[in-house]
Structure 1
């Protein structure tokens, strides 16, 4: 239940209050650690030791993560971004896994705008599948072209979505990719645009 994606911060607080009676904190100056003694409901005790932050030391999020979030917000909400960051093995400046709440706080601190779907449905930024569907080519065709530098696309994280500008998809470079895909069987154009996709993908 704790690790379930549907479990929010409020429910986790209720769980903590239910199973923990109290937490006693102490400082071990010699080891430069914070000692936490957890008194669980039922009488069991657990000791945790955490490194004590030194004077002048700051736990800040990596600049690469900040840059990735700035790009991901173009196509993804905070919940989805948290999943992408975790899938890439990235953690917060305090070493924690990402949650929707932590992504929201991160955005607020760095003044990164929130993702908002376009009112008219014409998103200015598209993921790989949507961009390929708009061009009428297979996602693999578009991805290979982007990797080769034939069309501009952003890939913030190794295990994460590509991001394409809708305006870029209307430029001559994109049309050349479409023409080549239709003329050369080595570059398949993919399924018919009206065919429904049974699987949803962020890449």
Structure 2
């Protein structure tokens, strides 16, 4: 701006005035930049000496956890200390092997578990996964959602379980679904067992309470799970046959109502 102003013809007053205004604006901007630089420059007393820097280099944790160490500063520390990181996969142990090459010439090896397919940080807990696997095949998605919520489990995003979320989790984890009336899985509900033996649900419950029919529950108040092969046990069939022959097990005859033959007052008219 100064060179342009000095090179202009003095007789051209309009151009000289415009160039002088631009020169003054440039000088104002320069003084503002110099002031900002002087405000950001640390004082000589705050600059650590060589010994302090060397001590800090030996205690990287202190510099990393310092209150003034933001993400940008930590990235600068990593770039300053690390030359490169080589990542390899150990398929036998399902681990990620990280070889860290430090700028000083040293090398470090760090191992981390390799995430499974579809696994991410926002995933259900191990207890919820085990509970779903234990109930899958014997209970519907809606029933599993009720049991999961009763046990206090939440999804990976912290939401309550629904039949749609249970179904989505099963598909991702490749867990088989429940099909009512199927016996190929080997497990039956109380209703399926009652239908297979031709008795009411109360009879199956009584056999379980008496210890004649083995059954299990994933959690208290959860539906009973019964093996299909246990229904064919001799003592179970004998108990069911005995119940059918007993007066309580047999169906009660219908009570016949005797109709009166006396004509009513309205019938006579």
TM-score of the two chains, using structure 2 as the length reference: 0.39
Determine which structure has the larger helix proportion and give its number: 2
* TM-score, normalisation: structure 1: 0.49
Instruction: State the structure with more CA Rg.
Output: 2
